[in-house]
């Protein structure tokens, strides 16, 4: 059972730079959240969405509280994975478009994440205590800091996935998808 992989879309951001709910933005006729869930379902038997009340997949709450950012979403997903008998969480941001087709193999074994976009990572349930200490202690709460604390490998890929932060980013990406 421990080798089961749970997919998690981290979708709890406030989309400040985007100006509206980024998860619902359309790219080639599909919302970013639908695209992210579909992308993870190709590799994971089960997928959850962290940081949202409503989503096209089951949702999990951020831990230890709401609005904790992507690390809070990952902590919620890792706790869900632990309780459900999964061995690890394959996470991506709602705006991580164009993940390499071999993402799970590139990131295995975890802990590991993409150096260009550390929110995309493979996080074993066993590293949950490290994340919990990070979120409840003083200091930086970032994926790069989590990677340092957990000894995660930073993986380089030749064509990094897009990271959509603004409507202009989405418009530029849409030109390449058409």
The pLDDT tens digits of the residues spanning 120-172 come to 999 999 999 999 999 999 877 899 999 999 999 999 999 999 888 888 888 88
The number of residues in the chain equals 178
Give the CA angle between residues 139, 140, 146 to the nearest 5°. Answer: 115
Residue 1's pLDDT band (cuts 50, 70, 90) = very low
Nearest-angstrom CA–CA distance, 80 and 77: 5
CA dihedral 10, 11, 13, 19 (to 10 degrees): 140
CA distances 105 to 43, 52, 101, 108, 115, Å, are 10, 28, 9, 5, 15
What DSSP character marks residue 85? T
Contact 173, 164 (CB under 8 A): yes
3-state helix, strand, coil in the chain (%, to 5): 35, 20, 45
- E strands, 28-93, are 30-31, 46-50, 59-60, 88-93
Give the DSSP H or E segment for 99: none
Task: Give tens-digit pLDDT for 83-129.
Answer: 999 999 999 999 999 999 999 999 999 999 999 999 999 999 999 99
Mean pLDDT of 40-60: 95
Judged by average pLDDT, the poorest of 20-24, 46-50, 59-63 is 20-24
């Amino acid at each position: 059972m421990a080798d089961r992989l749970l997919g998690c879309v981290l979708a709890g951001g406030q989309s400040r730079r985007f100006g509206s709910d980024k998860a619902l933005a359309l790219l080639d006729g599909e919302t970013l959240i639908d695209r992210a869930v579909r992308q993870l379902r190709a590799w994971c038997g089960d997928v959850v969405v962290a940081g949202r009340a409503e989503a096209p997949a089951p949702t999990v709450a951020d831990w230890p509280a709401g609005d904790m950012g992507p690390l809070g979403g990952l902590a919620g997903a890792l706790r869900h994975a632990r309780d459900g008998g999964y061995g690890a969480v394959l996470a991506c941001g709602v705006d991580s478009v164009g993940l390499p087709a071999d993402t799970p193999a590139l990131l295995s074994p975890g802990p590991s994440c993409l150096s260009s976009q550390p929110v995309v990572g493979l996080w074993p349930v066993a590293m949950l205590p490290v994340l919990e200490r990070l979120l409840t202690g003083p200091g930086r709460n970032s994926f790069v800091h989590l990677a340092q604390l957990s000894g995660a490998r930073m993986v380089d890929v030749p064509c990094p996935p897009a990271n959509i932060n603004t409507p202009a980013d989405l418009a530029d990406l849409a030109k390449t998808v058409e």
